[in-house]
Chains A and B, each alone.
Chain A
């Protein structure tokens, strides 16, 4: 069964610290993996999208990594800011022809404290 699991479920860090969020998936075949940021009460906004051939992709202070062999991805946030407080959702797009569904993780809720 195609699944996306994220850890930790929630995380609290102090402003200025770094953190890493994890995403493990069982989706096969695999087409791409996306990380979204969802502020409370808002829709998800795309941070990165990586295909199976990409290992790393950055977007400002956000760096996503992908290991297609172990089916793991991580999102590293550098020098966190209060505005980073949000849910971060990992989304996998299967690669099977004719499959158009996105498989969503349940998200990691990050709280950055001053």
Chain B
């Protein structure tokens, strides 16, 4: 079974530029999460989708971050314009649904460096 796919793995941009990350969850997984992981810290939830609807985006900096999950499968996370403090690993995760004991599967992450 294929895992959660993310791209690009690495991205270096200058501040005020824009960047987009793509995630393809495990086939059939209805729930998709985007997390931001700053070096030395645990992942922080940015946004959670259930199918193509947003469940929680309370910690998403909406002035610069946006995310969508068209057709309830792939998802894209965009940052525009980027700031130095956005340097982090952006992890995508998926689960079959929101049932509390469901396994959560992570992708390899997209490492962003903002210069």
Contacts from A to B (Cβ < 8 Å): 4, 31-32, 34, 36, 41-46, 49, 51, 89, 91, 93, 95, 100-102, 104-107
Contact = CB atoms under 8 A, between A and B. Distances in A.
Interface in B95-110: 98, 100-101, 103-109
A100 B101 contact: no
Nearest to B109: A43
Contact of A42 (B31, B42, B56, B109): B109
Interface in B46-85: 48, 55-56
Contacts of A105: 42
A34 B86 CA distance: 27
Q: Chain B: interface secondary structure?
A: loop
Contacts, number: 55
A107 B42 contact: yes
Interface in B2-23: 4
Residue with the highest number of chain A CB atoms closer than 10 Å, among B4, B43, B93, B105? B43
Contacts of B42: 4, 89, 91, 104-107
B88 interface: no
Interface residues of B, number: 24
A76 to B, nearest CB: 21
Q: Which 3 A-B pairs have the closest CB atoms?
A: A104-B42, A43-B106, A31-B100
Contacts of B43: 44, 89, 104
B114 interface: no
Interface in B22-56: 31, 40-45, 48, 55-56
B45 A49 contact: no
Nearest to B42: A104
A101 B45 contact: yes
Contacts of A31: 100-101
B56 to A, nearest CB: 7
Given A31-B101, A32-B101, A100-B98, A42 B45 contact: no
A43 B48 contact: no
A91 to B, nearest CB: 8
B104 A106 contact: no
